[in-house]
A and B are shown apart, each in its own frame.
Chain A
Amino acid sequence: MLSYILRRILLLFPTLIGITMVVFFVMALSPGRVTDSLQASEANMRPEERQRIEAYLKKRYGLGDPLVVQYGRWLNRVSPVGFKEAGEGFPRSTTIGFKTPDLGESFIRRRPVLDIILEALPVTLLLNLITIPIVYVVSITSGIWAARKRGQAFDVTSGVVLLALYSMPEIWIGVMVLGFFASRDYLQWFPTSGTHDVLAAQMAFLPVFVDGVFHRGWLLDAVWHLILPIIVMTYGSFAFMSKLMRSSVLENLTADYARTARAKGLTEHVVLFRHVLSNSVLPLITVAASILPGLLGGAVIVESIFGLNGMGKLMLEAIKTKDQELILSQTFVVGIIGLGSLIVADICYAIADPRVSYE
């Protein structure tokens, strides 16, 4: 088992390098890359500012050097392990060691990219961390139920409903939900944007009654703001996972080992929940690997519609303002998070299925 995990982690590195290469060369091979960023903000720049940026670009990207060298230089700056200036990172004296990854500086916002990303990341992670358990719990339950009552009302209707839900684009549902439940023209049950009310910082944490007036409190306010976005993020995933669970359970209910279990005299309940279930969730663990990148992508839409300041919204703004460093670093960071989820899912699967480690 341990050797499997180690091997898996070792295989991480080529992929990691691959991600950096894809990210870098998308930019590097495009027509008019660096100069575009300059031109976009040229109107607002004073000459010294412009020179500073040119000098920065030259240092960071070595414009004029062959592409491969530029890539190497960028990679070195971005990675937490590499060649460093004396006195930087750990250990302080040698030339190779650990250092803070330098993701560059955003011209538009005039701030280090790393800081900007670290501000936006928690919102996106929060959205995803709430979404994933909801999706799994609902899918597993509905999948089991549909498999047990195969062919009956619940199974058929849930199959149709889930397929319809899966086909509904997030862009549409998000806009409709926002428009009908959170706009001034229709029902205004929910706030139109943001994760918190403007006055959130002054609220008490828990809901409380003051002079007979109900105050939401910080926690409830946050929940209220997140309900619509979470609904939009979760509904699409139910279909796929639920159908997967259903077919997996059906397959296992009629498997030979289930027949053996029944022949031993076990109740149908025990056969289902002890024997069949532990085999049925295995495909769901495999799928977990790709659910996080999918949700991260979906977050782009949801954050844009609901005005949540996460990575997705950040990415869109970066593109609109042609903030090159920010775009590159964001794609890179998101790729790493995605890769992390792939590895975690693989390891979880190896733990769940004893057949794997012995390949």
Chain B
Amino acid sequence: MSDLAVGQALPTGAPPVPDRPLVARSWLAGVVLRTVGQISARVGLVWIGTIAFCAVFAPLLASSYPILLRVDNKWSSPLAAHLTAVDWTLLAAVPVVGVLLLLKSLSFARRFGIFLSITLALLTILLLTLDPKRTNVYDQFRALDTTGRVQSIWRTPIPYSPSDRLRDQFDAARPHPWAPSRDHWMGTEINGGDILSNMIHGCRIAMSVGFISTGIALVIGIFVGAMMGYFAGVVDLVGMRLVEIFSAIPRIYLLLAFVAFYDRNIYIIMAIIGVTGWVGDARFVRAEFLKLRNLDFVHAAIAAGLPLRSVLFRHILPNALAPLLVSASFGVAGAILAESTLSFLGLGLIDEPSWGRLLDQARAGGGGFHWWLATFPGIAIFLTVLAYNLIGESLRDALDPKLSGGQ
């Protein structure tokens, strides 16, 4: 009996025969596929696609300038004359993306790199060379109609720019804001601007603030979290104090304090929203790094003599990505909410179309209520936040090892 080893496991010799052929597919691609396969994510993506579409094609969808104009037998495009460098770059990006999607032979990273370089190069060139007319006289084209010299005119679907205050239609007996009508499908705001136009152009603000702020928050969060998780000890102690500081002060108060003392342009606001939102990401990254730093592949990388930043960011970090994806999706929702709230409180961007700013105008003096100023912008913010939350939830389900079917 003593020659039976206690606790002897039963060895099996042959290599395992897999049940189905293994497809070479990166982990990230698997996650994306599992996410997009869920119906909630699809619903979210549909809405975000709509917003993105509006953001890219905003000037072609809503502008007081006609796309094409034939006056006295001369063709011209007033709209094109007023497009900025950013407008052109966004429009040009569409065919670039289309072409890149077809080039399946290149890897995704490669194609993304090409896309980025082309758009950035284009943007720089345009910023330097293009000089669109700055002064906006919106009513000139409405007035032109009446002179009879116009042979043909092609307008955008919504023939108003967001900052067109309809001065030529001023009527003292009927002050703005106007309720929705055939001319203005969603009504007008207090200073006369068409609401639908503002909503469409506001998509740009929403998308850009959402992504850039979250990007900033991710960068800060990853850096601080990685330091805390990897080095632990004193670094962790100090880092946790930082995390506590930014958790204890409510985000809105921090935003308000910043806004009170700094300028109110879009870049500063994006930076502020990013700087106040890194705490969640840092926590996740710290937890993952604490777990991962003792694994053998880290020891192997260090033993091979790799520099620290390579070990941290090229070896450990890709394994810590899972919670960050979820956090980023919810983070975009939070950033959009933050910007809307600031605009709602009257402390956001000036002169830019923002959904929150429209919402602020819904309350009328003396206890009245302009329902169209509350409903449409509100639904837009709600649907956008919901879309990102749905995607975040779907990502979370896709990343949950218990639900992923043992890949």
Whether A and B touch directly in their complex, counting CB atoms under 8 A apart, is answered as yes
CA gap between A26 and B260 in the complex, in Å: 10
A335 in the interface (beta carbon within 8 A): yes
Q: A167 touching B382 by the CB < 8 A rule?
A: yes
Q: B241 touching A300 by the CB < 8 A rule?
A: no
B301 in the interface (beta carbon within 8 A): no
6 contacts between A and B (CB under 8 A): A18-B244, A169-B337, A178-B363, A293-B251, A316-B256, A316-B347
Task: List A contacts of B256 (CB < 8 A).
Answer: 300, 315-316, 319, 327, 331
CA gap between A297 and B246 in the complex, in Å: 13
Residues of chain A at interface, number, CB under 8 A: 63
Q: A169-B381, A304-B345 are in contact. Are A335 and B340 (CB under 8 A)?
A: no
The residue from A168, A171, A289 contacting B356, defined by CB atoms under 8 A apart: A171
B359 in the interface (beta carbon within 8 A): yes
Residue of chain B at shortest CB distance from A192: B367
Q: A18 touching B241 by the CB < 8 A rule?
A: yes
Chain B positions 361-405 with a Cβ under 8 Å from a chain A Cβ: 362-364, 366-369, 371, 374-375, 377-379, 381-382, 385-386, 389-390, 393
Task: List B contacts of A290 (CB < 8 A).
Answer: 247
Q: A31-B263, A293-B250, A331-B253 are in contact. Are A183 and B382 (CB under 8 A)?
A: no
CA gap between A30 and B346 in the complex, in Å: 20
Q: B341 touching A342 by the CB < 8 A rule?
A: no
Task: List A contacts of B381 (CB < 8 A).
Answer: 169, 171-172
Least Cβ–Cβ distance between A78 and chain B, in angstroms? 15
CA gap between A298 and B345 in the complex, in Å: 12
Q: A164 touching B386 by the CB < 8 A rule?
A: yes
Q: A172 touching B382 by the CB < 8 A rule?
A: yes
Binding site for B on A (CB under 8 A): 11, 14-15, 18-19, 22-23, 26-27, 30-31, 33, 36, 163-164, 166-172, 175-176, 178-180, 182-186, 188, 192, 289-290, 293-294, 296-298, 300-301, 304-305, 315-316, 318-320, 322, 324, 327-328, 330-331, 334-336, 338-339, 341-342
CA gap between A59 and B237 in the complex, in Å: 36
Task: List B contacts of A163 (CB < 8 A).
Answer: 386, 389-390, 393
Task: List B contacts of A339 (CB < 8 A).
Answer: 244, 248
Residues of chain B at interface, number, CB under 8 A: 52
Chain B positions 254-277 with a Cβ under 8 Å from a chain A Cβ: 254, 256-263
CA gap between A328 and B156 in the complex, in Å: 48
CA gap between A141 and B263 in the complex, in Å: 46
Q: B369 touching A319 by the CB < 8 A rule?
A: no
Most chain B C-beta atoms within 10 Å of own C-beta, residue among A11, A31, A175: A175
CA gap between A297 and B337 in the complex, in Å: 13
Task: List B contacts of A338 (CB < 8 A).
Answer: 247-250
Q: A331 touching B257 by the CB < 8 A rule?
A: yes
B302 in the interface (beta carbon within 8 A): no
Q: A319 touching B249 by the CB < 8 A rule?
A: no
B245 in the interface (beta carbon within 8 A): yes
Residue of chain B at shortest CB distance from A305: B363
Residue of chain A at shortest CB distance from B257: A331
Task: List B contacts of A336 (CB < 8 A).
Answer: 248
